[in-house]
Structure 1
Amino acid sequence: MPTLIRFLGLHLATGLAIGVIVASLMIWSNLAGLKDLLVEEEHPFVAIFLLYAFNALTFGSVSMGVGVMTLPYDGVCDMRDPNDKDDHGPLR
């Protein structure tokens, strides 16, 4: 498997695990009466599934984004047009 795919997969798995843990803590601690609402619900499985799925999706995406944004980059990132002769002040 390519290195970058493995890198993204590791960060995705880490984020998914954090999302599941956060959703579990939200239910366990009865945050904003969430546990009470789920207990009183006739079919709580849909709500529980959505809570876990969207937390996992959010934290997985954030974890992948943080992983990509913190990759080391050795090259110079100069996106300016070399033919542009305008004075850009201290940027040049």
Structure 2
Amino acid sequence: MPKLVRLYIHHTLIGFALSGVFVAALLWLNVANLWHLVSGSSAGWLAGFMLFMFNGIVFSGVQFGITIMRMAEDTPPDGGSRPRNVALELQPVPVRNLRRGVGEAAGTTRQP
């Protein structure tokens, strides 16, 4: 099996294990009266299973994403001759005032 597939399956299992712990803690602590809702309904087991599955999908995706991001190599930047730490300076930009009085053409002056 390729290493990347093995890595994905491994971290998916970790994500679903975290989901099981999370859902168990939600039910045990009775957050938002969730234990009563799951245990008091005939379809409560389905709600608990869906909670486990959807949290498992999210947790495994996050787990795999974090693992992939941590695999990046720290390579020094290469190429380019510009110095890396350049202090930026503000430069004035001349702006022509295009607002004129009514009936005046641009570039003309007002005569009294």
How high is the TM-score relative to the length of structure 2? 0.63
Q: Which residue of 2 is the match for residue 90 of structure 1?
A: 85
Supply the AA of the counterpart residue of 1:7: L
Taking only the aligned residue pairs, the percentage that are identical comes to 28
Deviations 1:44-90 (A, max 9, x none): 12211111111111111110111101014255577xxx7xxxx8x73
Structure 1's unaligned 5+ residue stretches are none
Distance 1:32 1:51 in 2: 14
Residue 49 (structure 2) aligns with: 49
Structure 2: distance between partners of 1:3 and 1:55: 25
Higher helix fraction: Structure 1 or Structure 2? 1
Q: 1:26 to 1:77 in 2, by over 3 A?
A: farther
Rounded Cα–Cα distance in structure 1 between residues aligned with 2:51 and 2:77:
40
Aligned length: 86
Shift in CA distance, 77/47, structure 1 to aligned 2, threshold 3 Å = farther
CA distance in structure 2 between the aligned counterparts of 1:72 and 1:61, rounded to whole angstroms:
18
Deviations 1:2-60 (A, max 9, x none): 11111122111111111111111111111121001112223212211111111111111
Residues 35 and 77 (structure 1 numbering): CA distance in 2 closer, same or farther, change over 3 Å? farther
Higher relative contact order (CA 8 A, sep 6+): 1
> How big is the alpha-carbon RMSD for the aligned residues of Structure 1 and Structure 2?
2.6
- Native 8 Å contact 1:20 1:52 kept in 2: yes
Report the counterpart of residue 29 of structure 1 in structure 2: 29
